[in-house]
Structure 1
Amino acid sequence: MNLKEFADTLDEMAHGSTREEFFLSCVDELSGRLLAKTKKRTPVGPGVFRLADDAEVSRGRRLYSSQSKQDKKGALHWSIERTHKTAQDVKLIKVQPGGTLRRMWRATPAKGGSRKYEARVFNPMEYASYVEYGHRQHVGQFVPILGKRLKRAWIPGQHMLQNSRNELNKEMPGILQRRLNAWLGGRLK
Structure 2
Amino acid sequence: MESAQPVVTPEFRTATTADVPALVALIESAYRGDASRAGWTTEADLLEGRRTDPEGVGAVVDGERSRMVVVESDGELVACCQVENRDGHAYFGMFAVRPGLQGGGLGRVVLAEAERFAREEWGADAMHMTVITQREELIAWYVRRGYERTGTISPFPYGDARFGLPTRDDLAFELLVKKLG
TM-score band, normalised by the shorter chain?
A: under 0.3
**Structure with greater proportional helix content:** 1
Q: Which structure has the larger Rg over C-alpha atoms? A: 1
TM-score by length of 1: 0.21
**Structure with greater proportional strand content:** 2
TM-score by length of 2: 0.21
